[in-house]
Amino acid sequence: MLAAATAALILLSGCAPGSDPSASPPPTETPSPAETESAAPEFLPDGTAAENLPVFTAVAEAVWATDMKGAGRAYIDALIDAGFDRAAMQVTQDQSTVGNQAESLQFSVRWGEDDCLIGQVGPSTGQVVTAVMPQLAEGRCLVGTTRPIDW
């Protein structure tokens, strides 16, 4: 009787979920290229500065990953291509007053009446740093002298 009970347990244990060693694990889902592309941040012209910070950051990171990462114009052009308003932008000089590559390059987009999207890159940061900050006096975003965006 004990032998019959043991045989029954062995037989039944083979029916338990997950007990088949030859069964393969369920397939993992990988996003399709269309799903991956749709995951990219989207420019929202009627959105807030905070809602547009992800696309501002993504644009800056894309430029930072190129050999143009030290060129302010590259950031401005890429932001314009993404939909940001050229007239609302500021950018600092690429070079210091003695002709060295700037340790820090800043660029910004004034957003609405109160906010600014600000980016900073360069050897001093080693990466893209972005933030939403309040506007300064006269609708400016960056302190000090900035270069004209006249191209």
Tell me what pLDDT residue 39 has.
79
Q: Is 144 domain-assigned? A: no
How many domains, the chain? 1
Q: In this structure, how many other beta carbons lie within 10 angstroms of the beta carbon of residue 51?
A: 15
H runs (alpha helix) in 72-115: 72-82
Q: Is 68 domain-assigned? A: yes
Between residues 118 and 34, the one the model is more confident about: 118
Q: Is 127 domain-assigned? A: yes
pLDDT one-digit tens code per residue, 89-100: 999 999 988 999
Q: Is 29 domain-assigned? A: no
* pLDDT score of 86 more than 50: yes
Tell me what pLDDT residue 14 has.
47
Please report which confidence band the pLDDT of residue 83 belongs to, taking 50, 70 and 90 as the band edges: very high
- First-residue to last-residue Cα distance in the chain: 94
Q: Which domain holds residue 85?
A: 47-139
Global pTM reads 0.74
Tell me what pLDDT residue 104 has.
95
Q: Is 59 domain-assigned? A: yes
Q: In this structure, how many other beta carbons lie within 10 angstroms of the beta carbon of residue 146?
A: 18
